[in-house]
Structure 1
Amino acid sequence: MKHRLCISIFFFLCIVTLSSAQKLEQPKQAQDHYNFNTESLIANIKMLSSDAFEGRRTGTEGGKKAKDYIIEKYKKFNIQPLADDYQQPFSFTARGKSYQGVNVLGYIKGSKHQDHYIVISAHYDHEGIKNNQIYNGADDDASGIAALFAFAEYFEKHPPEHSVILAAFDAEELGISGSRYFVNNSIVPLERINLNINMDMISRNDNNELYVVGTAFNNTLRTVISKYKTVKDITLLMGHDGKDGLENWTNSSDHAPFHKKNIPFLYFGVEDHKDYHKPTDDFENIQPEFYKKAVNTVISIFAIIDKMRL
């Protein structure tokens, strides 16, 4: 009996030990795994939305400082210039005034489909200074630009199959002028641009909801998004495309010129909040955990689409 009891205890301990080891070896949940440095993501949105950039108004010293900051980050992550020194300058008139803008364009050569492009975009300009108050635009759209840097970091370890253009557009707040100039004066053949992924306001939402617009116009993208399983504490919703009774965002940001050229797009954004286009759109009001998961969601969806032959 003693021998049988010892053997039973031995096997019980083995099972408990094995079970504990398996628990320890379980991979982290998806929401805990990021393919970019989340601390850098937060540091970049904090920097870009600081008073030092004076609201990043097109044509101002603050706007130029933001442009230089983006170029510095592209170089850090070995992103190649698509245009001369990454810069695509353009002139335009808005609200009866002439402006000089500069798009900042980086390039990553695809490993398989080099002649087919995905443009990942965000705008770096904001409202500047009004009535001696700085409109820092943390959510609108320092959040999108910092996410571009997260993409750049992601590509260091996960080279894309399609060629990618990282486009930091200027003058979105002045009639979506930067992205319009880009598509009307495309450096690469327009017919080779297969998709635009645009990010504008992705760092805060009280209901943890992130919207994606564009699936109503493309069955393939609708299928990808409908099958995508979001991580914990964030809900990805299709809508705001003019077909669901919600405010129509189809032409609301830098994806609009792509859509007008019949280029498929996915626009990621949140509902307007109380600080939208106000001097209170500051870093202190973003929601860091939501923001990290939102960026991770966009990168994960890109990774799925990049594996497809567009």
Structure 2
Amino acid sequence: MIRFARSAALASVAVLALSACGTTSEPPAQAEAEAPAAPSADYAQLMDDLRILSADDMEGRDTGAPGGERARNYIVSRLEAIGVGAPPMGRLQPFQAQGRTREGPKTFNGTNILGLIEGTRVPDRYIVVTAHYDHVGINGGQVFNGADDNASGVATMLEIAARLMAAKPEHSVIFVGFDGEERGLLGAKHFVQAPPVPLASIAMNLNFDMISRAETDGKLWVTGTYQHPTFRPILATIPANGAVALAFGKDTPQDTGADNWVEASDQGAFFAANVPFLYLGVNYHPDYHRATDDFERITPSVFQSAVELSYQSFRALDQALDR
């Protein structure tokens, strides 16, 4: 995820930041201690996806780099193993765009990854579920594995895809693993410029970026209900899961600068294109955009609770929209 750092230490490693996000602003009350735990589920594949995508051999998954290609190949293999088809334009959406590096502007060759599951009630309307798979690569000889940012979002997306193959959605769902987010939302911008379906047929974008490290405040933040207030009552009744609860904010005119996440990740491209959106993600933590954002730093039960909330959010939106 692209966020302005809160300190000089974070700024030194968040070298690719192009848009703003930040600290909490009037979060709702903490979930009560007796909130239900995550339901019994087999999370082995979820945790494997997170571990593999954030391993050292992915070399930080930089756009246009060998590690990014390895991550892309893995995600494609997982979608095919799950049985998720591709839209008519194909599984891959290559693009070329100019982004930023520490040395200045650079042209990147990136590739988005696409999947499609047809809906049962409104197959001609689409929910676009997204997560960027790139990260910042290798800096100063250190591999920035990006376990939370954003192997966690991709693993969440794959988990939702697997569940939707078992219990089909009401809307058709386009899954997109975006490339080039850290370089300036490059893949997302290309997608909205050359979408596989007309933008008018997209009911909304649901973007996952940084899902696993909710220990900071116990919240999985939902950004975008200020812009799209009809979404909030759909999600507001979803109860806390384990130690994690949904919270709404970081999207109002009062949430300025680093407190506003509306354009801080790939949902920003949909916002700019006037496509309804919601973003789900956790708050800052000490390993954000550092070489220490590793799989071992993630508490499995916290991540799994956030994944359950993410899936429940999708289901609630899928059932409520276009009625």
Q: Which deviates more, 90-99 or 64-73?
A: 90-99
1:285-300 aligned at under 5 Å gives the runs 285-300=297-312
> CA separation in 2, counterparts of 1:30 and 1:303?
19
Unaligned runs of 5+ in 2: 1-34
Q: 3-state SS of the aligned residue for 2:214?
A: coil
Q: Choose which of 191, 196, 200 in structure 1 pairs with 2:200.
A: 191
Q: Which residue of 2 aligns with 1:240?
A: 250
Q: Deviations over 1:223-258 (max 9, x none)?
A: 112232222321211011134547000000000111
Aligned amino acid, residue 107 of structure 1: L
Closer, same or farther in 2 for the Cα pair 1:243/1:37, shift >3 Å? farther
> CA separation in 1, counterparts of 2:192 and 2:321?
22
Larger Rg: 1
Could you tell me whether the CA contact under 8 Å between 2:85 and 2:115 is conserved in 1? yes
Q: Choose which of 70, 84, 96 in structure 2 pairs with 1:91.
A: 96
The TM-score normalised by the length of structure 2 is 0.84
Are residues 1:59 and 2:64 paired? yes
Could you tell me whether the CA contact under 8 Å between 2:192 and 2:269 is conserved in 1? yes
1:66-85 aligned at under 5 Å gives the runs 66-82=71-87, 84-85=89-90
Are residues 1:263 and 2:275 paired? yes
Aligned amino acid, residue 124 of structure 1: Y
Aligned residues: percent identity? 38
Q: 3-state SS of the aligned residue for 2:213?
A: coil
Aligned amino acid, residue 205 of structure 2: N
Higher helix content, 1 or 2 = 1
> CA separation in 1, counterparts of 2:36 and 2:119?
26
Q: Which deviates more, 260-269 or 137-146?
A: 260-269
Are residues 1:37 and 2:56 paired? no
Q: Which residue of 1 aligns with 2:227?
A: 217
RMSD: 1.5
Unaligned runs of 5+ in 1: 1-28
Could you tell me whether the CA contact under 8 Å between 2:53 and 2:147 is conserved in 1? yes
Aligned amino acid, residue 205 of structure 1: A
The TM-score normalised by the length of structure 1 is 0.87
> CA separation in 2, counterparts of 1:178 and 1:187?
13
Q: 3-state SS of the aligned residue for 1:215?
A: coil
Q: Which has the higher contact order (CA 8 A, sep 6+)?
A: 2
Q: Which residue of 2 aligns with 1:157?
A: 166
Q: Which residue of 2 aligns with 1:141?
A: 150
Q: Which residue of 1 aligns with 2:13?
A: none
Q: Choose which of 124, 128, 135 in structure 1 pairs with 2:137.
A: 128
Are residues 1:205 and 2:214 paired? yes
